[in-house]
A and B are shown apart, each in its own frame.
Chain A
Amino acid sequence: MIRVVLPHHLRLLARVGAEVQLEVEAPATQRSTFDALEARYPMLRGTIRDHVTQQRRPMLRFFACEEDLSLESPDSQLPDSVASGAEPFWIIGAIAGG
C-alpha cells in the first residue's frame, strides 16, 4: 500500500482528504503509482502528468523521505519505506507566486 499526499486543489477535485492510499504492484515506481492514482481518481488525469507525454507538469514536484524525487526517472523504484506505506509520497505545487 502506498500513501500519496495531494496538494489542496487536487484534493478538492478528487473529493478526498489530504492523503489517499493505493494498492500498487511491486516493484512500485512513480509511473505505477500515478497509473494507480489516475485509475482510481480519473479526474486527476492530466493534472499531474501531461496527458500525452506523461511528463511531470513543470510546476509540480515530488518528494519522499525528505528527498526530492522530481527528476528521478518515472520507472525508478520508489524508496522501500514509501513502497511499504511507512512514509508517504508527496505531490507538491512549486511556490511560484500568489
Chain B
Amino acid sequence: MSNVRVLVGTRKGAFILTSDGKRQKWDISGPHFAGWEIYHLKGSPVDPNRLYASQSSGWFGQIIQRSDDGGKTWHQPGTPAGEPTTTPEGMPKAESNKFVYDTSPETGKPLTTHQWFDGTQHPWEFKRVWHLEPSLRDPDIVYAGVEDAALFRSTDGGKNWHELAALRDAQGSKWSPGAGGMGLHTILLDRTNPQRIYIAISAAGAFRTDDGGRTWKPINRGLHSQYIPNPTAEVGHCVHHIAMHPSRPKVLFMQKHWDVMRSDDAGESWHEVSGNLPTDFGFPIEVHAHEPETIYVVPIKSDSEHYVHDGTLRVFRSCAGGNEWEPLTRGLPQENCYVNVLRDAMSVDSLDKCGVYFGTTGGQVYLSADAGDNWAPIVRDLPAVLSVEVQTLP
C-alpha cells in the first residue's frame, strides 16, 4: 500500500506528517530547525528520500538543508552529518548558502537594478530562498527561486548555486517588489520538454524559457492589473501562483493578486476564469492529480484584508477548468475564522482518490481524502504554515 509524506514549512520550523494510504492516522515529526522560518521543503521526484529545505532567519540569513533519508536526518549540503566540515587542507567543503548574483564580466558591477517601491532603481539584494524545485530527472539538480527575484540552480545536490541570470534580461529593471518582497515563488518544470521552465515573480509576472534558461520571455498577455500604471503592461503583474497538471504542460492556471486566470497555450495568452467566486483574490491554486480540469483555490477577502471571506474557511473547486466554482466546506470552520492560506501551502497526493492538503496561517493542516468533498485537520496548532508539499510514496 502507498504511503503519504507531507512536508510542512512554518514560521518556526519544519514538520513532517506521514501516514499510510488510508490517510487516517498520522505521525508527526518536528519541529525540525526549530525557531527558523522554513519557507519551503520539497522532495525529488526521482529519489523521494532526497529532500531539500529552505531555512532562513532575519538574523542569520539563508541556510540550505538536505536530507537523504526522507527527513530523518538533515545536513547542509557539502557537510554530511558527522563528517568534518572542511577538507584536509582546511577549506570549506561547500558553500550551500552562498547565493551570489551574477555581475558583469567586464566591469564586475551588478548586472541590473530593479524598480523600488517609490519608483527609483534599486540594486538586487539577496534575502532568502522562497521555493526549491528539484529536477524531474536528477536528484542532484535543484532550482531555487529567491528574493530579490532570481532563479538559481545547483547541479551538485545543493552544495553550490549559480544564477540563471538571463532571466533578468526580461525587463528586470521594470520589476518591483510586492508587499511581501520581490520573490520568485513559482517554478514549473515541463515533464515533456526538459528545456522549458515556467517561473513567476511578485510583482513582475510570469516568464518562460524554452532553452533551459539561456533566454526568457514574459508571458503576461491577457493579464489586467488595475494597481499598476499600465494595467496590461508586459511585466509588472503580481502573480501569486501558477499550477499545471503534469500531463498537460501547456495548460496553466494562475491565481493573480486579483483574478484567477487560465492559459491553454503555454502562457502565450491568458483569460480570466474567476466566474462565480465570491472574491478572486487569493494565493494558492492547485490541480487535481487525475482530473486536469479540476482545480482548487482558497479565496480571501482582499489585498488589504488577508483572511478568508465572511469568517468561513472555504476551498473552491471547479471541475470545468474555471468559471464554475463550488464551495467546499464540510469539515472546515464556518464561523469566526480569519486565517489565510499562502501560495505554496496547498498540494495534492496522487492516490486513487486524490487527497488535497492545505495549511493555514493559523497553524492548521487540513486534508480532504476525497478530492475536496470532506475535510479534517491532520494537525491544528502548528506555527503559521508557509508551505505544504505532498509526496506519494510506493
- Interface residues in chain A, defined as those with a beta carbon under 8 Å from any beta carbon in chain B: 7-10, 13, 38-43, 45-48, 50-52, 57, 59-60, 93-94, 96
B-chain residues with CB within 8 Å of residue A8 when the two chains form the complex: 35
B-chain residues with CB within 8 Å of residue A10 when the two chains form the complex: 60
User: Are A9 and B36 in contact, CB atoms less than 8 angstroms apart?
Assistant: yes
Given contact pairs A47-B61, A57-B60, a sample of 7 additional A-B residue pairs in the complex whose CB atoms are under 8 Å apart: A9-B35, A9-B57, A39-B90, A39-B92, A45-B95, A46-B97, A57-B61
Query: Residue on B with the closest CB to A52?
Result: B100
User: Are A42 and B86 in contact, CB atoms less than 8 angstroms apart?
Assistant: yes
The DSSP consensus for interface residues of chain B is loop
Contact string against A for B residues 49-67, beta-carbon threshold 8 Å, 1 for contact and 0 otherwise: 0000000011111110000
Known: A9-B36, A39-B86. A45 touches B97 (CB 8 A): yes
Contact string against A for B residues 10-47, beta-carbon threshold 8 Å, 1 for contact and 0 otherwise: 00000000000000000000000001100000000000
B98 at the A interface (CB under 8 A): yes
Report the Cα distance A41→B76, complex, angstroms: 12
Interface residue range, chain B: 20 to 34
Number of A-B contacts (CB under 8 A): 59
Report the Cα distance A84→B86, complex, angstroms: 27
Query: Residue on B with the closest CB to A97?
Result: B58
B109 to chain A, nearest CB (A): 13
User: Are B63 and A47 in contact, CB atoms less than 8 angstroms apart?
Assistant: yes
A36 to chain B, nearest CB (A): 11
Contact string against A for B residues 76-91, beta-carbon threshold 8 Å, 1 for contact and 0 otherwise: 1001000001100010
B93 at the A interface (CB under 8 A): yes
User: Are B100 and A51 in contact, CB atoms less than 8 angstroms apart?
Assistant: yes
A61 to chain B, nearest CB (A): 10
Query: Residue on B with the closest CB to A92?
Result: B59
**What are 21 contact pairs spanning A and B, CB under 8 A?**
A9-B57, A9-B59, A10-B60, A13-B60, A39-B90, A39-B92, A40-B86, A41-B85, A42-B79, A42-B85, A42-B86, A42-B93, A43-B79, A46-B62, A46-B98, A51-B97, A51-B98, A57-B61, A93-B59, A93-B60, A96-B59
